[in-house]
Copies of this chain bind each other. A is one copy, B any other.
Amino acid sequence: MTKENPQAEKHDLSRYPRPSVTVDVVIFTIMADDLRVLLVQRKAEPFRGVWAIPGGFVHIDEDLLAAARRELEEETGLRGVYLEQLYTFGEPDRDPRSRVITVTYFALVSTDLLRGQQLRATTDAQAVQWFSMYDLPDLAFDHARILDYALTRLRGKLDYTNIVSELLPEEFSLSELQRYHEIILHRPLDKRNFRKKMEPRYARDGSPLANDPSPLLETGKKRMIGTHRPARLFRYKDKSRVD
Contacts and interface: CB of A to CB of B under 8 A. Distances in A.
Interface string A37-59: 00010111110000010011111
A interface bracket (residues with beta carbon within 8 Å of B): 35 or more
B4 A60 contact: no
Nearest to A124: B4
Contacts of A85: 87-88
A70 B2 CA distance: 13
A1 B60 contact: no
A20 interface: yes
Contacts of A98: 13
A19 B16 contact: no
B58 A19 contact: yes
Contacts of A4: 40, 42-44, 52, 56, 124-125
Given A18-B19, A18-B60, A101-B64, A123 B88 contact: no
A212 interface: no
A124 B21 contact: no
Interface centre among A52, A55, A57 (most CB of B within 10 A): A57
Contacts of A42: 4
A122 interface: yes
Given A20-B13, A90-B63, A1 B71 contact: yes
A97 interface: yes
Contacts of A91: 63-64
A142 interface: no
A161 to B, nearest CB: 13
Contacts of A16: 57, 59-60
Given A20-B13, A64-B88, A85-B88, A5 B58 contact: no
Interface of A: 1-9, 12-13, 16-22, 40, 42-46, 52, 55-64, 70-71, 74, 85, 87-88, 90-92, 97-101, 103, 122-125
